[in-house]
Amino acid sequence: MRKYGLSKKILVTGGAGFLGSHLCDRLLEQGHEVLCADNMFTGSKRNIEHLSGHSRFEFMRHDVTFPLYVEVDEIYNLACPASPIHYQHDPVQTTKTSVHGAINMLGLAKRVRAKIMQASTSEIYGDPEVHPQPESYLGKVNPIGHRSCYDEGKRCAETLFFDYHRQHKIRVKVVRIFNTYGPRMHPNDGRVVSNFIMQALRGVDITLYGDGEQTRSFCYVDDLIDGFIKVMETMDDFTGPVNIGNPSEFSMRQLAELVVELTNSRSKIVHAPLPPDDPRQRQPDISLARQTLGWEPKVKLRQGLERTIQYFEQLLGAA
């Protein structure tokens, strides 16, 4: 065991990404030793530069589709491009990252007897016919569409987690992440929150896809990280899958109007075509997280957007 007091050695794959870097910060604050692995496809140095030189932080350029031999107590497996433009750039590699990445990280967990958490996604529900989506809903996913490399890759990763748990008695946790936003989002990832804020700050047209009536439920990053930590800390018999997200649902039109208001922007809202397989509505049912973890999100959309806008303002100022 590498435990000294309550401090653990923790691997975060995708640790230089949007969520991963916030998770590294939180684990360091808690006194742990953090090994951050990232192949830097969508991860960025800027997200972790404040940690370089930290005595308990180590960065490693590594692609999870290759095995990794390290000694750790816990693993958070976050590695995978998550925005449609990034994961569709090389769809075969996206599936490999989820599937081979899960196999490699589960293999590592098995060898060192580590507890391991998988960052799964609301995308495993596809374009849902049940609303809001409880964990028991099995989903409606197109297996051959443009989103399938991500959706089916993440579904298969969940399968692997549960088979390793049943077959090899690995301690697993599966978290299904719903739309999350906050500082360190990639400015060019095409996600709706980053797109709208960047467009509003630059004073260019805001691109509302389709009729703008499709909905999403946005969780502020700090709330999500609280959820991750709570899930990892629950008893070993709680494996999930568990939804972590904010149930307050907004249409994309409402989001666009709110961003324009908060940035005092002169941008106009214009319509653009809806991407293929774009889910009509999405909202987490978080009853399970409330009951088992005592977790629920605290940050309201307006408050979270204000903090995110501040981040993008600084980013544009520094460019």
Min CB(252)–ligand UDP separation in Å = 4
Q: Is 150 designated active site? A: yes
Nearest-approach distance from CB 188 to ligand UDP, in angstroms: 11
Give the CB-side neighbour count of residue 85, counting CA atoms within 13 A.
10
Residue 179 interacting with ligand UDP (CB under 6 A):
yes
Stretch in the footprint of ligand UDP (CB under 6 A) among 110-118, 128-136, 160-168, 270-278: 270-278
d(CA 39, CA 41): 6
Pairwise CA distance, residues 97 & 118, whole Å: 13
Report the length, in residues, of the chain: 319
CB closer to ligand UDP, 171 vs 191:
191
Closest approach of ligand UDP to the CB of residue 238, in Å? 27
Distance from CA of residue 212 to its chain's centroid? 23
- Beta carbon of residue 235, minimum distance to ligand UDP (angstroms, whole number): 32
Residue 187 interacting with ligand UDP (CB under 6 A): no
Q: For residue 49, give Cα distances in angstroms to 16, 20, 34, 43.
A: 9, 13, 14, 12
Q: How far is the CB of 201 from ligand UDP (least distance, A)?
A: 14
User: Residues 247-266: x/- map of binding to ligand UDP (CB under 6 A)?
Assistant: -----x--------------
Identify residues 189-228 at the interface with ligand UDP (CB under 6 A). Answer: 191-192, 195, 207-209, 214, 216
Site membership for ligand UDP, residue 62 (CB under 6 A):
no
User: Exposed, middle or buried, 264 (CB in 10 Å: 0-12/13-18/19+)?
Assistant: exposed
Q: How far apart are CA 187 and CA 192, in angstroms?
A: 10
84 sits near ligand UDP (criterion: CB under 6 A)? yes
Three-state helix/strand/coil letters over 219-237: EEHHHHHHHHHHHHHCCCC
Shorter beta-carbon distance to ligand UDP: residue 110 or 253: 253
Q: Where are the beta strands (DSSP E) in the chain?
A: 9-13, 33-38, 57-61, 74-77, 115-121, 172-177, 180-181, 206-209, 215-217, 219-220, 242-244, 249-251, 269-272
Would you say 93 or 122 has its CB closer to ligand UDP? 122
Which structure tokens are listed for 15? 């640790």
Residues forming a β-bridge with 121? 177
Of 30-38, 109-117, 136-144, 274-282, the window that binds ligand UDP (rule: CB under 6 A) is 274-282
Pull the structure tokens for residue 38. 């990232």
- Given the residues 76, 125, 150, 181, select the one marked as catalytic: 150
| Contact status: 275 vs ligand UDP (CB under 6 A) | yes
The smaller minimum CB distance to ligand UDP, of residues 107 and 279, is found at 279
Which range binds ligand UDP by CB under 6 A, 2-10, 187-195, 290-298, 301-309? 187-195
Which residues of this chain interact with ligand UDP, rule CB under 6 A?
84, 179, 191-192, 195, 207-209, 214, 216, 252, 274-275, 278
Q: Would you please indicate which residues are annotated as catalytic (active-site) residues?
A: 150
